[in-house]
Amino acid sequence: MALIKVQGVVLKSMDLNDNDKIITLYTDKLGKVKAVAHGAKKQSSKLMASTQPFCFGEFLLYKGKSLYTLKESSINESFQELLLDFDKIIYGSYFIELIDGISEDENKNVSLLALLLKTLYILKDTDTNLDLLKLTFNFKAISLSGYMPNVKTCVRCKKDLDCGYFSIIQGGMICSKCFTPERDIYGINKETLTFLRILKNIKLEDLRDINYNKKTLLYVETIMDNYLNYYIGAEFKSQMLIKKLKKK
């Protein structure tokens, strides 16, 4: 029985039966995997704490016919402070749901794991605007997963732009000459395009230093939510909860 030691974050934890769980991990060596955690539902189990969503730790796994089995684990960071803040737990849930949604099983992407961890630490330790953090996380996650929209040039004629239209179907900006009416297309002025380009390139730790217009942020957030839904093919539960939060 070959054992493999990985570092990873628990994306999801589901009951298998009265005693056992199936967890979804995003790991450094294997990418996204599912593992059975025998006895993890028991109060006395050493696996109970480390199999909660958000938990970052080390996991000792072995592969069965269809699933991995978790043999041992240790916690590096539980992120349990998020549970004390309703808004943060909703946004944190969004981050792990997005990683789950855009990742294929056993497709390793160490940069995506690093992005998730950095985002969760910023969420836990700072008062960064949650919508700005979510929007920047979206840009970086889809870029690392191969879905990055073109916000530099027209996707049709390759002309440099300072305004135009954003097409979800075409995957980026379209100039006024190439524009044709279609569904899911948004007008983009110079200020909005500048903001899109900032989000694409900014470091997460620098978010609190940027100036932004709240209306522009909400407009771009709507575009990116629809962009993600189009390419992933689903809307996350946490995404719907965030929309409800905004209506309060």
- Taking the C-alpha atoms of residue 6 and residue 31, their distance in angstroms, rounded to an integer, is 10
Pairing between β-strand 31-37 and β-strand 68-77 as defined by DSSP bridges? parallel
The domain segmentation of the chain, as residue ranges, is 3-78, 81-247
Domain 3-78 matches domain 81-247 at the CATH topology level: no
- Taking the C-alpha atoms of residue 183 and residue 240, their distance in angstroms, rounded to an integer, is 22
| pTM for the whole structure | 0.93
State the Cα torsion 239-244-246-248 to the nearest 10°: -160
CA 146, chain centre distance (Å): 14
Architecture of domain 3-78 in this structure? Beta Barrel (2.40)
Tokens 């955690």 appear where? 37
Structural contact between residues 238 and 94, judged by C-beta atoms closer than 8 angstroms: yes
- Which runs of consecutive H residues, i.e. helices, occur in the chain? 86-102, 110-125, 130-144, 190-201, 214-232, 237-247
pLDDT tens, N- to C-terminus, the chain (248 residues): 689 999 999 999 999 998 999 999 999 999 999 999 999 999 889 999 999 999 999 999 999 888 999 999 999 999 999 999 999 999 999 999 999 999 999 999 999 999 999 999 999 998 999 999 999 999 999 999 988 999 999 999 999 999 999 999 999 999 999 999 888 899 999 999 999 999 989 999 999 888 889 999 999 999 999 999 998 887 788 988 998 887 76
CA 117, chain centre distance (Å): 10
CATH number of 81-247: 1.20.1440.120
